[in-house]
Chains A and B, each alone.
Chain A
């Protein structure tokens, strides 16, 4: 029997394996249990695929919505409801990203010891309800979006879209694209704001950029096609070319830099691909300088041609400029910054910041933005079809305690320095107070 005694140890090995596997599973459940419990099939806390517990607040703890057996219960304030709807999500599930789904692992209230036997949890969004209301109001029902980012932390402070609606008072006929969050899910022709991209490529690829003398006759020919400006800008240095937003200069720079290099910069800055951020995904814009003929490439440097850009992606780029070229990847959840990402060389970011400040001083007028330490660039993007151009305004402020980068678009709003700039000013003024 002694022989068998040793051979029987194979069964002991078996039993030991059971214990080891059990331990392994316990460890896995400890790490991933929150995600497992948050799975939509979990009938304990979901009802027809919808989470029935949890509270969503803004960054300061203001309750924006609660999830209940009967669906999402929104804020009591109509403006708050309408302005935050696209971030929270709707009961019908028509809105693409909503905190109720994105942050369900936080909302389940799961913990390893109690599972889901306790109360639901809560999640604090990175956005400020106040900024959100201000942004939504400033859009005044026009089609457009406001994106504001804390460039030091990567937290999204405002992510407003218009037109929206009050989920408790839905109009019978919703305006087109009412479910769309234009700040992250819509791409527009950028126009002159794209000159910030061309400028970055120029700083790093044209050594004598700041020594050069530029001249604008109001129009020029590149690759057999005509490039036009709104006026004859005459002789200038690169700073004034930016301040005056001279198409001829930036078109020529793009042509000189070349399509491949331009493409590389557009790609690197995240304008051409989807960007995963905590709680959502920024849709892809478009830049096709690498495949364009010379005229199209030239126009692309001035943000026309077939360029498309997403407001939040632009705000992200501005945040990188403001923050020495490096950012924490954006997040919609308070205090939960993504990975450090470097978009620009530090020196390039500084020079871009300087030229944006120069532009504010010499073109837009600091007096028009009292109390704001503003670096900015406007854009007036021609959209064709006899429509008014899209109005863009983007940049950042350096006020104490308000490290915000932003991008504002108003569809068919006309001059960038008009409608979009007014909208941005309103929001920023709320934010610095």
Chain B
């Protein structure tokens, strides 16, 4: 059976790689700038950087243009503004030097570094026409193929567990996989009925979730019901966030409140936390326990992701630095050092993307190192974890307990596994969360475990790829930050549990048993989805030609007709 599972996973991975990574789809065009010689520059993003720099979206050869000169920004309603990014010569709109952000209309002339540029924005009609040609030219996303492969995968997994696990667990198994199937088909139908074609990310997420469900059934079948409900919540959250992310104005408005809410949540957690596994990172509300730090990840992405103008304003990272420091400090105080490390890694990614400077990142890393040294000296048990790192076998009965057993489990499974539910490792405490790589490796084999890892790595590449075409830097940074959360968690979970890195006890996105973690993993998927600008691919992206509803009054739309 595992051959079939491997084949399906490989096919899905190839299918997704083909459509997400290697589809060179045509750019979206939102407007144009034409200079006097007739050279036309397409504005392919909602945020366009104009300047001499090789990183500029509109690259001017003029020597008097600053490397980073001005930003041309479109909003949801199709209105454009221009702002100067602290250039030497200044930016001239309609003959006047601008001092603050200013509205720019079709036909306006913009002078930058001596170059006169005539601005034209795409009309609704143009956007729609272009979208139609983009759609024609774009490759198939294989949504149906993905859905079919996913369904087969889930069914095979269910059959295997029905065969291997005791008969009393039949209900649990059926509940688990029927709910995954229903939710997957529900998501699929939602996507199709919204005329969207991209289903790669959802396929991967459902696939990993079902592997996680299989692990839970094997180790702790009675908890599957809770996990099923959490998956439903996660999927709903995913759609809600996709919808929310469609409107950048809304996002910009609520970005800060969400970040503050995250801090409050951490604060409550810190104040009233119950201790579990040495880490005080659990909240218990009405008998339902959950891990706020997982949800705060979403707030962290909102806090860290910003628009273009902000990126090029001075000291843009400072506030976020402070925010991160508080978050990470809280986590460290809760003794959740693994999660603190993950947050810190994501912070580094965001800080680098926003500043582009290794110096900023280096300084932060230095500061963190100092803090880590203090933490290690203050808390001897962390020092122990580091002491055993790389020497787990020398203390297999004690500090190397989890790592050595994980390695034993993975080795026992060989390449193809002992069969779902047939392993021994699941009975070890926290095997289905912190050491889930061991359970998957033992029961399903190293290849399937490795494919699960590769899927997450793939999400990383997807985020990187999406940056090129994403409409705004908010979406670009958010996608990369979300992917970094996945990657950092994955790296610490997998390689910490096999003694390649220090063991910290964090979760494998989607796979580790844990309701909050599952919900957060699903929620964060929306950030990746919102950066997917392939034609009609993403539920989280409004197609060109649509305008934000509120402002869709005829009066406001009138300028569209002018060109």
Residues of A within 8 A of B (CB): 1-12, 14-19, 21-22, 24-26, 28-29, 32-34, 36-37, 39, 41-45, 110-117
Contacts and interface: CB of A to CB of B under 8 A. Distances in A.
Q: Chain B interface mostly helix, strand, loop or mixed?
A: helix
Given A3-B49, A11-B487, A22-B454, 7 more contacts: A1-B44, A2-B468, A11-B349, A14-B488, A41-B405, A115-B415, A117-B418
B412 A1 contact: no
B461 A15 contact: yes
A8 B404 contact: no
Nearest to A43: B424
Contacts of A26: 446, 450
B270 interface: no
B491 A8 contact: no
B207 to A, nearest CB: 17
Contacts of A34: 411
A211 to B, nearest CB: 56
Contacts of A12: 460-461, 464
A44 B55 CA distance: 56
21 contacts: A1-B469, A1-B476, A2-B55, A3-B49, A4-B353, A4-B473, A5-B467, A8-B353, A11-B463, A11-B483, A14-B484, A14-B491, A21-B494, A37-B411, A39-B396, A39-B407, A41-B408, A110-B411, A111-B414, A114-B414, A115-B411
Contacts of B404: 36, 39, 41
Contacts of A6: 55
B418 A115 contact: yes
A14 B411 contact: no
B453 A22 contact: yes
Contacts of A32: 407, 411
Nearest to A118: B414
Contact of A14 (B53, B407, B460): B460
B352 A10 contact: yes
A37 to B, nearest CB: 4
Contacts of B453: 18, 22
B480 A11 contact: yes
Most buried by B among A1, A6, A114: A1
Given A2-B55, A8-B476, A11-B480, A117 B425 contact: no
Contact of B414 (A5, A19, A43, A112): A112
B417 A115 contact: yes
- The interface size bin for chain B is 35 or more
Contacts of B446: 26, 29
B412 A11 contact: no
B477 A4 contact: yes
Contact of B412 (A2, A4, A8, A45): A45
Nearest to B449: A22
Most buried by B among A5, A18, A34: A18
B495 A21 contact: yes
B451 to A, nearest CB: 10
B427 interface: yes
A113 B414 contact: yes
B413 A18 contact: no
Nearest to B480: A11
Contact of A19 (B409, B454, B470, B498): B454
Contact of A116 (B418, B456, B467, B491): B418
Given A15-B461, A25-B500, A2 B56 contact: yes
Interface string B36-74: 000000001101110001111100000000000000000
Contacts of B467: 1, 4-5, 8
B13 to A, nearest CB: 12
A1 B44 CA distance: 9
B414 A24 contact: no
Nearest to B490: A18
Nearest to A39: B408
Given A1-B57, A1-B467, A11-B460, A42 B47 contact: no
Contacts of B473: 1, 4
B468 A36 contact: no
A16 B491 CA distance: 11
B356 interface: yes
Nearest to B53: A3
A1 B468 CA distance: 6
Most buried by B among A19, A25, A42, A116: A25
Nearest to B414: A115
B20 interface: no
Most buried by B among A15, A34, A44, A110: A15
B356 A15 contact: no
Contacts of A114: 414-416
B423 interface: yes
Contacts of A117: 413-414, 416-419
A298 B484 CA distance: 76
B447 to A, nearest CB: 10
Contacts of B405: 39, 41
Contacts of B424: 42-44
B410 interface: yes
B408 A15 contact: no
B6 interface: no
B484 A36 contact: no
Interface string B493-527: 01100101000000000000000000000000000
Contacts of A116: 412, 414, 418
A403 to B, nearest CB: 38
A24 B54 CA distance: 37
Contacts of B456: 18
Contacts of B425: 43
Interface string B285-306: 0000000000000000000000
Contacts of A18: 453, 456-457, 460, 487, 490-491
A1 B495 contact: no
Interface string B329-358: 000000000000000000001001100100
B458 interface: yes
Nearest to B406: A36
Contacts of A16: 457
Interface in B344-380: 349, 352-353, 356
